[in-house]
Every structure is written in C-alpha cells, then in structure tokens.
C-alpha cells in the first residue's frame, strides 16, 4: 500500500511556535484536526512544567509537543497532564493517608507516605504512560472528547511499592475479583460522577503493578499525581489513578460511570490480548493494554534538506509489554520498508528509541513513515480502526519532507 501524506492543519496554524514536531502530521486519509481544536492548541505553562499544548483548562489536559518526546525518558517538566475532574487539591503530605481495604480484604489499614516508602520493598521500572485517547484529534470522522494529538503520552522511570504487597498485608481474599482505586481529586458539580476505576485482581497481583511515589528519581510532580499514583505497566493510563487515597478489594465488579460507560470499545474489534472479563458486556469491553505503536520525533512536516545530505530519522516505539520485534522505515510512501536500528532496551514496558539514516539523491518530496511490530505478531495499522470514543489510534504516521 502507498502512504500519502498531507500537511498538518495544526502545524499551519501554529507553525511559528516551532514546537509541534513531526508527529502532528496527519495519518492516512484524514481531514485534519477540527477548527475548535486548532483554536485551543496553544502552548501554555503549568507550574513546574515547560510549555505544553493546552487541550482544556478545567480539568487541565495538556499534551507534550512531539519534540519533547525525542528523548527515550520524558523529563518530568515535559510530561503530559491528564485529569478527568477539575477539583484537584494540593496535597499536604503530613495529613495524606492511603487506605487499603474493601469487602475482599480481611485486614484493612492505612498508610502514610513515609510508611509506603519504608515498610515495603521499593521497586523501579520504566514504563510508557499513554492516555487511551491519544491521537483522538486525528480521528476521521471526528469524535467528541479531548482532542489529543500525538503527545498524550510519556515514558518515565517509576519507583514505588508493589500493589500486591499492600494487598497481602490487607489480607486479600480469594473471592476478590477486582481492585478499585479512588483519588483525592473530585468533581466541581455534584452531578459529575467521581473518577473511580478498577483493574482485575490478577492484574493487581502482577509484580510490575505499583503504587508509585517517584518519577524519574524525584517525587511525583503535582500534575502527575503527587504524592502517590497507581502504575499499571502495559495498560492505558485510565487505570493509573493519580493522588490515590483509596484501594479497595472487591468481591463484585465495580459499577461506575468510568467503568460501565466510559473507556469502552466494541468487543472483538481490536487486537487486545489482556481481557477484562468481569467488566465485559455482550457488545463492549474496557480498553486494556497499549497497542503497538511508533512515532517519528526529530523531524517536522515540510522540513527541508539538501539533496546528497544524510537524513537521520529518529523516534520511539512501544507496546503493551509483549516486546518490540522491529521498527521499519519507508522513504517511498510505503512501497518498501527497511529495518531501523534500535537503541538500548530499558525493559518490556518502556518505549524504545530507534533510528534510520538515508541520503536522498533527487530533489522533490520524500514521504517518510515508520511502523512497529511486536513479539505477538501485531503491527501498526495502515487504516484507522474507528470507534465512537476515538481510542486505540495506532495508525502509521507519515511525514512529508522537502529535498532541494
């Protein structure tokens, strides 16, 4: 199949900023981001953050310009921000407590931050945190929701305690089917449902699922969940509860708007391996693991190069933990593909850097694209698998370069 690129409307509108990066160019056959998204996509700085692309103020939703993702580890001050509720407290750590209990636990208890840090074995791992709606703004036809481009994601080193160790202290019962989380944030209006989420008990007992208190060697930033957040490596960030204050073991599936209505996809439509069976219905299933994906991070749509000069294409690739098998790059619009070279392997849940170099000899437009494949045999899709909420967009992202 031949990939045809089109120039990003968003880059045209904001090209003078110089920070949008290559990844905001459109995927196959899309009409561009809607006009309302263009008007709101301005660089704005939150406290402790470098300028990010503002998608909404209340609640605060800010994505990382693609140029910020050119490092395999995303710095804390460049990491995207995603909240569902607008009442986000500034936590006084002296009074903060994490309660662990529920009807599926026989020994409920509470923890201070110091106890969380010192009474449980610390574990550190590198993992991609990606909003399930990343690239929603690139959906064609357009769908409602936060109009993310490519930057509702980041890759970081997370340090914390294993969730299964906390559950063991709480006396987790064999009847427990789900582990539910709640955070300190809350709705501004009473009619807005509180943001509560759950994961299957088997996922909670995975040794890589953490209650984290550090990010890239520092305390979690306020905007990313200080003082503690849930880390569910390989799964989309909807389960990564920020400012977590409650962990409950449940003998029955959690019933809430955010489980039963939001973050669901048509059943059987996506190549999902990790199924959340206790939350499935006849027609829909919750989003779970991150799909295999890649992104060119060092080039911009329309960037100019001289014929005979080497062009180095760099980027990131990631998946839900199955392991990356290869990244391939096309420089002829998808007619042929060549293997890129991987950077260091930072773990199965981490993004991985890659690069590919070539030297164009002729003048004209060069259509560059990258696609990743994982150990399960999954490869990025060439066509959008449409769903009404705009989840799971892992379409190949082409870029058009100019050779003069």
Answer with the one of 224, 259, 289 that is the final residue of a domain: 289
For residue 360, CA distances in Å to 239, 368, 369 come to 44, 12, 15
Are 261 and 306 in the same domain?
A: no
252 and 338, same domain (yes or no) = no
97 and 231, same domain (yes or no):
yes
CB atoms within 10 A of CB 48: 11
| pLDDT tens for the chain, residues 1 to 404 | 444 443 332 332 233 233 333 332 333 233 345 544 544 568 998 999 999 999 999 999 999 999 999 999 999 999 999 999 999 999 999 999 999 999 999 999 999 999 999 999 999 999 999 999 999 999 989 999 999 999 999 999 999 999 999 999 999 999 999 999 999 999 999 899 999 999 999 999 999 999 999 999 999 999 999 999 999 999 999 999 999 999 999 999 999 999 999 999 999 999 999 999 999 999 999 999 999 999 999 999 999 999 999 999 999 999 999 999 999 999 999 999 999 999 999 999 999 999 999 999 999 999 999 999 999 999 999 999 999 999 999 999 999 999 99
End residue of a domain, out of 289, 319, 344 = 289
Structure tokens at 359: 């030297």
- Candidates 48, 84, 80, 75; CA nearest to 65 is 80
CATH of the domain at 308: 2.60.40.650
d(CA 291, CA 377): 12
For residues 183 and 243, the answer to whether their CB atoms sit within 8 Å is: yes
Assess whether 355 and 228 both reside in one domain. Answer: no
Residues 6+ apart with CB under 8 A from 63: 52, 53, 55, 80, 148, 149, 150, 151, 152
Strand partners, 374: 324
Instruction: Give yes or no: residues 65 and 186 share one domain.
Output: yes
Range of the domain at 112: 1-289
| Domain match, 251 and 299 both | no
Whether 124 and 202 map to the same domain: the answer is yes
- Alpha carbon of residue 234 to chain centroid: 10
| Total-model pTM | 0.90
Q: Are residues 102 and 209 in the same domain?
A: yes
Q: Is 223 exposed, middle or buried (0-12, 13-18, 19+ CB in 10 A)?
A: buried
179 and 220 within one domain:
yes
Judgement on whether residues 331 and 184 belong to the same structural domain of the protein: no
Q: What is the CATH number of the domain that holds 113?
A: 3.90.420.10
d(CA 210, CA 233) in angstroms, rounded, equals 9
């Amino acid at each position: 199949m031949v990939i045809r690129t089109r120039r990003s409307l968003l880059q045209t509108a904001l090209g003078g900023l110089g920070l949008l990066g290559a990844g905001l160019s459109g995927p196959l056959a899309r009409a561009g981001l809607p006009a309302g998204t263009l008007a709101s996509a301005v660089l704005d700085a939150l406290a402790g953050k470098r300028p990010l692309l503002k998608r909404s103020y209340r609640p605060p939703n800010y994505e990382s310009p693609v140029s910020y993702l050119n490092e395999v580890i995303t710095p804390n001050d460049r990491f995207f921000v995603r909240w569902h509720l607008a009442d986000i407290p500034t936590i006084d750590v002296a009074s903060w407590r994490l309660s662990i209990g529920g009807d599926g636990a026989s020994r409920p208890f509470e923890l201070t931050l110091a106890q969380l840090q010192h009474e449980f074995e610390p574990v550190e791992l590198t993992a991609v945190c990606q909003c399930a709606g990343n690239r929603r703004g690139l959906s064609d036809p357009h769908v409602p929701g936060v109009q993310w481009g490519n930057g509702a994601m980041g890759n970081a080193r997370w340090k914390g305690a294993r969730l299964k160790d906390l559950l063991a202290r709480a006396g987790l019962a064999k009847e427990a089917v789900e582990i539910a989380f709640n955070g300190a944030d809350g709705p501004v209006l009473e009619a807005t449902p509180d943001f509560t989420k759950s994961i299957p008990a088997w996922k909670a007992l995975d040794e890589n699922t953490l209650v984290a208190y550090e990010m890239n060697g520092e305390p979690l930033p306020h905007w990313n969940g200080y003082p503690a957040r849930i880390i569910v490596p390989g799964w989309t960030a909807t389960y990564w509860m920020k400012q977590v204050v409650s962990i409950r073991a449940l003998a029955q599936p959690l019933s809430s708007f955010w489980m039963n209505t939001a973050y669901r996809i048509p059943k059987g439509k996506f190549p999902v391996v990790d199924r959340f069976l206790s939350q499935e219905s006849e027609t829909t299933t919750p989003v779970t693991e991150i799909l295999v994906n890649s992104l060119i991070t060092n080039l911009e749509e329309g960037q100019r190069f001289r014929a005979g000069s080497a062009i180095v294409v760099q980027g990131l690739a990631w998946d839900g933990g199955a392991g990356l098998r290869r990244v391939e790059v096309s420089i002829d619009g998808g007619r042929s593909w060549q293997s890129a070279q991987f950077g260091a392997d930072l773990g199965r849940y981490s993004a991985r850097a890659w690069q590919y170099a070539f030297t164009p000899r002729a003048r004209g437009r060069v259509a560059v694209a990258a696609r990743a494949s994982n150990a399960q045999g999954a490869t990025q899709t060439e066509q959008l698998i449409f769903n009404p909420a705009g989840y799971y967009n892992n379409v190949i992202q082409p870029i058009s370069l100019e050779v003069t």
